[in-house]
A = this chain, B = another copy of it.
Amino acid sequence: MSDIIEKLQQIVGPAQVLSAKQVAQRATHFWNPSPMVARALVKPATVDQISDVLRTCFEHGQSVVTHGGVTGLADGEKSTSDDIVLSLERLNQIESVDAVNRTMTVQAGCVLQSIHEAANDCNLLYGVDLGARGSCTIGGNISTNAGGLSVLRYGMTRDQILGLEVVLADGTVITALNSLIKNNTGYDLKQLFIGSEGTLGVVTRAVLKLRPATPTRNTAIVAFNTFEQVTETLALVSRELNANLNAFEIIWNDFYRLSTNPDITGTSRAPLTRDYSAYAIIESRGASVESDKQQFQQTLEELLEKDLIADAVIAQSETEQKDIWQIRENVDLSLRHSPLFVYDISLPVNHMEAYVDEIRTNTKKHWPDAVVHAYGHLADCNLHISIAPKPENFIRDTQQQPIRIQAFNEEESKWYETVNRIVFEPLASIGGSISAEHGIGLLKKKYLHYCVSDEEIAAMRLLKKSLDPKGILNPGKILDME
């Protein structure tokens, strides 16, 4: 047994170090069942143990890949047979909730859903929610600056973080568990570690900002004839629903048709006919049953009167709300092609229509029957796009044939390169981003230059070299060090 593995066993106990063989019993990823690869996987139980593990790895020049819920979508958590995986699965406690100051202190391995539940118990809420809530951890959310469903109202994960504890590459523990909204005392170090995908330090604990609960909920789905109506509608509802506006999700016609297709979904009905060019789900949340409802209805009436929307359905019950949201949440339907290339991009709202048309046209030049689905958080400038070059390869039964957004063969990999260029290239000139909320990881590293300048990359390298001089933390992710 190698020297370093023995030392790691002394730190965390032999049972908490999995060998390469044991690691292979885990799946690589939520979307990829192939065996996980690593030199070993270490499961510390305390921040002190994490500090000792990192100090040991630093001394040995041993690379470390930190794992949370392993639900990322940019291969940021991918490990090789040379890496030690540092899993934070045993640091999963909510340490305290302060209902008066509206803060919560959590360990990094805490699952997002348990944070929502603990906030809810105090009649408060945590501002970031996303599909992987049952598996993803707050440490992973912080390291990728996760976005999700409520960014429009509450911002990204960065906007929820008041304090952070981080262990640096050499084992130094920086405990900066600030719980104050306002604290201007020197450089705000936590900002460096939020969104840096585990390449600058290991997040171990965090103080989260909580918000007052929003018990009332008004939901509608509306239809548009033109994209111009979409942007004007967003402006009007932002003004009229104001701070209560909680969601404005756009769905292009193709995805609406798919998501309301009874042949595929079995149960879904279409609240609005399938002929409009686009649809949006609009939701307001607040605390005053009567006045919120009144405000919502008046706003919808104004949209109809001004011909900004072609039609609308307001949900009259919780079931109807769920049905409307189901149309947006049938995301897995758009993933049922093989192979499938998925994107999470961001661009100014006024460029969206032309952009989606452009990538549709360019994709069809290569694959005339290609399926291009677009939907997303319009008010956040964020679109999710999925492109299937071969629509005939539709997966009817995901139990038999799993969804495949990774592990492409040689030919498919070439297609992927082509589609990447189709999707990413136009973003450079319109101030778009190749990654809105999923991060860069390994997958998008070579396209980073489309939206980040040479000077920015040089500054990022400088920071990486300063904080992780031996390059042991999640090496090769986001940037190469040359």
Contact = CB atoms under 8 A, between A and B. Distances in A.
Interface stretch (A57-65, A177-185, A322-330, A357-365): A177-185
Contacts of A212: 238-239, 242
Contact of A287 (B200, B242, B348): B242
B184 A287 contact: no
Interface stretch (A37-45, A396-404, A451-459): A451-459
Interface stretch (A6-14, A264-272, A411-419, A430-438): A430-438
Contacts of A175: 453, 455
A350 interface: yes
A196 B238 CA distance: 33
Nearest to A465: B466
A462 B453 contact: no
**Which residue, A158, A212, A458, A479, has most C-beta atoms of chain B within 10 A?**
A212
Interface in A166-194: 168, 172-189, 191-192, 194
A123 interface: yes
Closest 4 CB pairs of A and B: A243-B243, A291-B291, A191-B191, A182-B436
Nearest to A147: B182
Could you say which interface size class chain A belongs to? 35 or more
A456 B212 CA distance: 32
A155 to B, nearest CB: 7
Interface string A136-170: 00000000110100011101101100000000100
A123 to B, nearest CB: 7
Given A100-B235, A144-B184, A187-B192, A463 B466 contact: yes
A214 interface: yes
A98 interface: yes
Contact of A451 (B185, B294, B350, B377): B185
Contacts of A439: 184
A182 B101 contact: no
A174 B466 contact: no
Given A156-B182, A180-B431, 19 more contacts: A102-B238, A145-B184, A153-B243, A179-B431, A184-B433, A184-B439, A185-B440, A185-B448, A186-B448, A186-B452, A188-B194, A191-B192, A191-B194, A192-B192, A212-B238, A213-B239, A290-B294, A462-B467, A465-B466
